[in-house]
Amino acid sequence: MQLKINRGFVQNEISQKGYAVIEEVLNDEECQQLISNFETAHLYRKTVDMERYRFGAGTYKYFKYPLPDIIQRLRELVYPELVPIANEWMSQLKLDMVYPQDLWKLHQHCANQGQHLATPLILKYQEGGFNTLHQDLYGEVYFPMQAVLFLNDYGADYSGGEFVLTQQVPRAQSKAMVLHPKKGSMLIFSTNFRPVQGKKGFYRVTMKHGVSEVHSGERYTLGIIFHDAAQ
């Protein structure tokens, strides 16, 4: 894994667009290992059939603690780089929340609210699979940014299955952004909302994300969420 985060780049991209893409985070071997472990039952605490809950069509699995080393390292490396951006957001929106610099302190805060379960997950979609627009909150405590890593190639391994972000501006229609980052890339995006500069200061825009229908092949992604879940 090669991860060098230019905080200024991420801050500018996510402030302007609501997302930022960092390429070549995972190599081919690491992507394949994560895909190969999809059927390794002891790594996971929960498997979700998305059709059963009307979340879409596909399967995702939540990892359990202790997390695989590569996922733990991703969490620990990315989180502190995003904390200054998150705290600036809270200040801009005049919200009474300050995120700790250390990930374990965020998890301690989560535990105090009954959130103690791991949230990183791996997702698999086959032909016809999709994910409805949603937010990954999991409880009262949540970090305002998260990441997804793309484990195989758009166009070569699957078609369709674009990553979709929507932005709801108050008293306006939603804006959709459709993305297909390269294999090994990490997409950082807003979990719930983000600030946008207006004529009278910053205002809040709500963000949701999902996956468009897969037309062929199999699509795998790894979701990195920093806060823990209540259930």
pLDDT per position as a tens digit, 147-168: 999 999 999 999 999 999 999 8
| pLDDT value at 2 more than 80 | no
Q: What is the pTM of this model?
A: 0.94
pLDDT band at 173 (very low <50, low <70, confident <90, very high): confident
What residue spans define the domains of the chain?
Answer: 7-224
Q: What pLDDT was estimated at residue 174?
A: 82
Q: What are the residues whose beta carbons fall under 8 Å from the beta carbon of 112, sequence distance 6 or more?
A: none
Burial class (CB in 10 A: 0-12, 13-18, 19+), 106: buried
The DSSP annotation for 211-229 comes to: EPPEEEE-EEEEEE--S-B
Cα within 13 Å of Cα(23), Cβ side: 4
Structure tokens that stand for 52 in this block: 């059963």
Strand partners, 104: none
> Are 1 and 27 a contacting pair, CB within 8 Å?
yes
The predicted pLDDT at position 53 comes to 87
C-alpha distances in Å from residue 86, one per residue of 11, 14, 15, 187: 10, 11, 11, 16
For CA atoms 38, 42, 45, 49, give the dihedral sign: positive
Residues 6 or more apart in contact with residue 81 via CB below 8 angstroms: 5, 7, 10
Q: Helix 28-36 to helix 69-92 angle, to the nearest 10 degrees?
A: 100
- Which amino acid is located at 130 in the chain? F
Average pLDDT over residues 207-230: 97
**b vs e for 163-202, b when ≥16 Cβ sit within 10 Å of the residue's Cβ?**
bbbbbeeeeeeeeebebbbebbbbbbbbbbbbbbeeeeee
Indicate the angle between helix axes 69-92 and 103-112, nearest 10 degrees: 80
Question: What's the pLDDT score for residue 119?
Answer: 98
Q: Which of 53, 9, 17, 2 is CA-nearest to residue 175? A: 17
Residue 4 predicted with pLDDT over 80? no
Whether the per-residue pLDDT at 1 is higher than 80: the answer is: no
Q: What is the mean pLDDT of residues 32-58?
A: 95
Q: Domain 7-224: state its class.
A: mainly beta
How much is the pLDDT for 169? 75
What per-residue confidence (pLDDT) applies to 6? Answer: 84
DSSP-derived 3-state class of residue 129: coil
Residue 170 has pLDDT above 80, yes or no: no
Pinpoint the alpha helices (H) of the chain: 7-17, 28-36, 69-92, 103-112
Please tell me which residue, 99 or 175, carries the higher pLDDT value. 99
